[in-house]
Structure 1
Amino acid sequence: MKESDCEDIEWQDFESAVKIIVESRSPFQLQKFFCQQLICDGEPKSFDEYLDAVDKFEELIPAAETRGTWATRTLQMAFQGILDCSISVTSSAVYSSSVSSSSGYELQVSNYTGHGELSSGQIYRLRGIVERLKSTEYLADCIGAYTKSRRTAVVARFRRFGINDLQYLDDQEFAAKIRLWIHTAKTFYSSIFPGERQYYNNIFAGVAEATYDNCFLAIVQLVASELNNLVNISPAVSFQSLFAILDLYKALLVILPEIKKMFHTVSCAYISDGASYTINSLETIVRRLFSRFKDAVLNESSNTLSPLGGIHYMTDYTMNFVTSILLYKDVLTNIIVTRPTESLGNEADEQFLEASGGTPLQLHMIWIMISLRKNLESKSTNYKDPSLGRVFIMNNLNYMTKIITGDPELLEMIGTEYQTELSKDISQAAQDYVSSIWHGVLYCSRLDGLSYKIPFVKGILRNSVKKRFKSFNTAFEEVCQTESTRIIPDTHLRAQLHELILSKLLPAYESFSEKFGKHIQSERYKERYIKYSSEDLQNKIQNLFLEYLIVPSGAQDIATVI
């Protein structure tokens, strides 16, 4: 081929390259071109032709003459155009369900790739531009533009979650915000931040000027710092927020390795150090809230009691709370590391706790059970009728026992020894109840005082027998009427109490009736005196404590009455 022919071919290539670049040199045309071609990830042929044209232009023009040429500047404009188009969609997607492009078409957010993610096509094009700008003065500007654009995208995605300060919220709002924070943090550390790191690696691999610190970390550290700052918990938070804070603590433990791995350089060590400090702070808060709960159980002093001796709301709340503690047993075992030091005010209880084995958490759980029992015993004295106080004790301690024995894990934590102590207290309360309430009825069935004995003569005082039967009937009916309003909601406890009453009443009545009933059998109106058979008594007793349904007395929140 002649030299002139080669020159003609090169000149034709040059003219073709110039034509392609010139068609795209207008900033408005360039931005419109790249917005249409890159956001929609259309056919990449046009973009490749553009890059080929720039390469050809640089090849045909001597290096000394191309430095700072408009052909190279169009690469910078293209780079910025891609970023601008992507960030305009990302920002708009935060506030609207759709965004209109400059050419009039509408991009639905649901169809936009990830609300801020770069598509593979965009990454390819950005990388292609970076490769061509590596040795130019425009590279630093492109790195800065990329960092600013992606940081804006990351912040916009963060704002979409709507997370804000955790201070001064009520317990429900606080728990909801904690759940939102956990979801946000997991999303960023498992997806968004790693995604940005991958973008950085794909676009700037081998580019010395784009370092981990000045590019990737500069993009993500603002949101990472804000995530750290948002978990500054108010000292005034209620112990009712304990489980929400434990959820937060567990979530931070899970993502801490990723935080340390991501923010390992000197310039951003404050982020990983801050996360570690937050975990330590949360441990302190958990211990403080756990202590507040214990104090509430021991010292809750409301006088709101069930008039029928039912289950107190504090009992219900406390047992639900300790059952929930089981869900966090592993993590609390690592946080609660010292034995209880608060006084129980009772030497026997102190000795029992001292002799108990197990982890510090187990000892604290036993302490809570002892405290609850002590508080209930104190509340039982507020009943004007001591027998009703004993019913109250039976019901509440039995409720504690049912919850403990119904959950093998809770029983293991509390221990069978204290469960046995509770059972003894229930039995003693039942014995005291029967002795106090049924003493008058049993007294009417005593055998003495109804016979006489004079020298060589002994006999039965029939009028006294009739009066004794009538006294028994009256006393029995009065007790049944009163006790029918008492509440024993637990079937097993109710059956035990029926059995205990009958074990004392039936033998005494049957002995009395057998010995003295025959002496008034001839009376015209004997049914006035002997009103009840043994079966009648048994039926009456077994129908006691059934009239009312039980609900925990009072609807108050335990935290509101401390």
Structure 2
Amino acid sequence: MPRKGMRTIFFKNSSPSASPSRSIPPPSPCHTFSDSVMEENIEIAHSLITKWDSDSSNSFASINSLFNNDNRQEAKQYLSVVKDLQSAMHYFVAEDSSSEKLVRAQNLMQIAMKRLEKEFYQILSSNRDHLEPESVSNRSSTTRSSVSDFDDECSEDEFRVADDSISETERVSMIAMADLKAIADCMISSGYGKECVKIYKIIRKSVVDEGLYHLGVERLSFSHIQKMDWDVLELKIRNWLNALKVAVRTLFYGERILCDHVFSNSETIRESCFAEIAREGAMYLFEFPEFVAKCKKTPEKMFRKLDLYESISDLWPEIESIFSFEATTSVRSQAVTSQVKLGEAVRTMLVDFESAIRKDTSKTPVPGGGIHPLTRYVMNYISFLADYSGVLSDIVADWPLSYSFSVTGILLRRSFTRDVALSYLFLANNLHYVVNKVRTSNIKFLIGEDWVTQHESKVKQYTSNYERMGWTKVLSSLPENPSAEMSPDLAKDFFRRFNATFEEACKKQASWVVTDPKLRDEIKISVARKLIPTYQEFYENNRVGFRRVMGSGSSSQICPQ
């Protein structure tokens, strides 16, 4: 607020505590008007500063805060007289540096600063809960700006109802922040910023350290992490992932807001305070992912490392903003270093994973040409990787694969069997499984619809080859022209040959499987369409002979199951 003349504020009050303790003598011929004003400033300051002198015998001063609700107007006056006292000191330094008036003013200033130092400490300590980073960070900038500082014209009632939308806790927090800023501004402008900053750093650093402790953030060395069992380390990773969000968005963000507000008039002090309060804890926090990245790099551990990488990526704009000071460059650098190391670890694991698949030469039989365990493992692994497509694209953006990845080639190496029909059924089963996994996961967004269409055609080709190799002998056991006239004996031979080859095929394929119900039905229908019309026409033309040669009957099912 525009500062009113202190004489007007104080002398309209008849209270002895609000007026000079002695009358000012009339000015001498050499006594200027400015001299009188500055002397008056000292007298007024003496009256109010000694009243609240914490070292005086006045017991009221020792138990009552200058900045509580009952004394807020007097607190404003106190800060104003300190400013006027400072003006008087500057004046007398220029006029006469050995002046008794200057010595008196300096003594009063020391008393006032000691009082304000105590008030600053009490506000920070007694409002610890109200100044928790969560409380500070949850308030919008609009709400924060709705409460005026002591320098603004604002009545006490206006202060209390500055914003009807805020809670009592927020109101108390906002008042405490305004008080701290007012005291800090006064002490810094009076040359006592060091004392103010020291108190602030000690108390607020303890708040940050305590907050990190409750979040479970520990200072762990690489050797300690390296010796941990994976189950223990994974638990710590999960805890870190939860802690990071709270630490960045609440703890450090709230501290930055509070620090920026209290020391808004000095960028140098803001930077120094926040750096000393937050830097050490933040370094512990962001060192952890780097240590995890250096641990053993097995494919199963890739997803947790991707979680760590993604969490830093998601919060990077906030990290960069909160730790934007030059004095907190090390924090930003540590976060970037952790990301880089995690990215390198992921790339190494991707190479090792692909290499292991290519080098795998196991020929373990898969019953009935079903889904190979490696096929399931690989596709489940890749589908999980696809969920991290955003961060993976960042990690491998400048790191193209050196060779193409052929699913068919790998599956062919897994075909364990000399039976050609079963080999094709194995390929159909496994490639169909791969295509379905692609269709039902985020992989489809990475490799595109063309890939899916192309490999669906290959599945049809493999099923067609299976049908040809598995059922050609049965089909060829029937005459080429099923409607042609033939002798009963020849018809009997065809019936016997067909029954024998059909039974043989069914017996052979009884243990073969098609795991996907839809694909299984498609194969059955396709085989039936090839056999039934030819057989039915031959049967209709030779049913008499058929009845005589049919024995105990044959299977009517089309294999495989």
Coarse TM-score class (shorter-chain normalised) = 0.5 to 0.7
Q: Deviations over 1:94-133 (max 9, x none)?
A: xxxxxxxxxxxxxxxxx9969xx99223223323433443
Equivalence for 2:401? 340
Q: In the alignment, does 2:463 pair up with 1:402?
A: no
Equivalence for 2:257? 198
Q: Residues 222 and 501 (structure 1 numbering): CA distance in 2 closer, same or farther, change over 3 Å?
A: same
Once the two structures are superposed, the pairs formed by residues 291-330 of structure 1 within 5 Å of their partners are: 291-300=351-360, 306-330=366-390
- How much is the aligned-residue C-alpha RMSD, in angstroms? 4.7
**Aligned mate of 2:414, from 374, 379, 383:** 379
Offset, 1:151: 1.6
Q: Residues 69 and 399 (structure 1 numbering): CA distance in 2 closer, same or farther, change over 3 Å?
A: closer
Does the 8 A contact of 1:90 with 1:153 survive in 2? Answer: no
Once the two structures are superposed, the pairs formed by residues 81-480 of structure 1 within 5 Å of their partners are: 81-86=122-127, 119-134=173-188, 138-164=192-218, 167-168=225-226, 180-206=239-265, 211-232=269-290, 233-264=293-324, 266-300=326-360, 306-334=366-394, 335-342=396-403, 367-368=404-405, 370=406, 372-381=407-416, 383=417, 387-405=421-439, 410=444, 413-414=447-448, 416=450, 419-420=453-454, 422-442=455-475, 444-445=477-478, 460=487, 462=489, 466=492, 469-470=495-496, 472-480=498-506
Specify the code of the residue in structure 1 equivalent to 2:343: E
Q: Residues 384 and 439 (structure 1 numbering): CA distance in 2 closer, same or farther, change over 3 Å?
A: same
Looking at structure 2, the residues matched to 127 and 88 of structure 1 have their Cα atoms a distance apart, in angstroms, of 18
Q: In the alignment, does 2:115 pair up with 1:74?
A: yes
Looking at structure 1, the residues matched to 57 and 500 of structure 2 have their Cα atoms a distance apart, in angstroms, of 111
Offset, 1:27: 11
Q: Deviations over 1:290-329 (max 9, x none)?
A: 2233224333455555423322333234334434444444
Does the 8 A contact of 1:300 with 1:375 survive in 2? Answer: no
Offset, 1:278: 3.5
Across the two proteins, how many residue pairs are aligned to each other? 465
Q: Residues 29 and 379 (structure 1 numbering): CA distance in 2 closer, same or farther, change over 3 Å?
A: farther
Q: Residues 211 and 133 (structure 1 numbering): CA distance in 2 closer, same or farther, change over 3 Å?
A: closer
Specify the code of the residue in structure 2 equivalent to 1:143: V
Three-state SS of the structure 2 residue aligned to 1:488 is coil
Specify the code of the residue in structure 2 equivalent to 1:278: S
Equivalence for 2:523? 497
Q: Residues 296 and 48 (structure 1 numbering): CA distance in 2 closer, same or farther, change over 3 Å?
A: farther
Offset, 1:143: 0.9
Looking at structure 2, the residues matched to 242 and 309 of structure 1 have their Cα atoms a distance apart, in angstroms, of 31
Offset, 1:146: 0.6
Looking at structure 2, the residues matched to 520 and 84 of structure 1 have their Cα atoms a distance apart, in angstroms, of 104
Does the 8 A contact of 1:151 with 1:220 survive in 2? Answer: yes
Offset, 1:488: 1.6
Offset, 1:140: 1.3
User: Which stretch of the first structure deviates more once superposed, 372-381 or 267-276?
Assistant: 267-276
Looking at structure 1, the residues matched to 57 and 384 of structure 2 have their Cα atoms a distance apart, in angstroms, of 67
Looking at structure 2, the residues matched to 188 and 26 of structure 1 have their Cα atoms a distance apart, in angstroms, of 45
Q: In the alignment, does 2:45 pair up with 1:45?
A: no
Looking at structure 1, the residues matched to 448 and 245 of structure 2 have their Cα atoms a distance apart, in angstroms, of 35
Does the 8 A contact of 1:239 with 1:290 survive in 2? Answer: yes
Specify the code of the residue in structure 2 equivalent to 1:319: M
Q: Residues 152 and 27 (structure 1 numbering): CA distance in 2 closer, same or farther, change over 3 Å?
A: farther
Offset, 1:520: 6.1
Three-state SS of the structure 1 residue aligned to 2:20 is helix
Three-state SS of the structure 2 residue aligned to 1:337 is coil
Q: Residues 246 and 378 (structure 1 numbering): CA distance in 2 closer, same or farther, change over 3 Å?
A: same
Which sections of structure 1, spanning at least 5 residues, go unmatched? Answer: 94-110, 343-366, 449-457, 547-562
Q: Deviations over 1:339-394 (max 9, x none)?
A: 4324xxxxxxxxxxxxxxxxxxxxxxxx34x1x4333222221x476544433222
- Structure scoring higher RCO (CA < 8 A, sep ≥ 6) equals 1
Specify the code of the residue in structure 1 equivalent to 2:435: T
Specify the code of the residue in structure 2 equivalent to 1:44: N
Specify the code of the residue in structure 2 equivalent to 1:401: V
Offset, 1:399: 1.7
Equivalence for 2:551? 528
Offset, 1:228: 2.6
Q: Deviations over 1:440-486 (max 9, x none)?
A: 544544589xxxxxxxxx99574x76566345435434533553443
Looking at structure 2, the residues matched to 340 and 407 of structure 1 have their Cα atoms a distance apart, in angstroms, of 22
Does the 8 A contact of 2:506 with 2:560 survive in 1? Answer: no
Equivalence for 1:105? none
Three-state SS of the structure 1 residue aligned to 2:117 is helix
Specify the code of the residue in structure 1 equivalent to 2:103: A
Q: Deviations over 1:56-89 (max 9, x none)?
A: 7997995523257555423322322333445599
Specify the code of the residue in structure 2 equivalent to 1:486: W
Looking at structure 1, the residues matched to 325 and 408 of structure 2 have their Cα atoms a distance apart, in angstroms, of 55
Q: Residues 374 and 459 (structure 1 numbering): CA distance in 2 closer, same or farther, change over 3 Å?
A: closer
Which sections of structure 2, spanning at least 5 residues, go unmatched? Answer: 1-13, 23-43, 89-99, 135-166
Offset, 1:396: 0.9
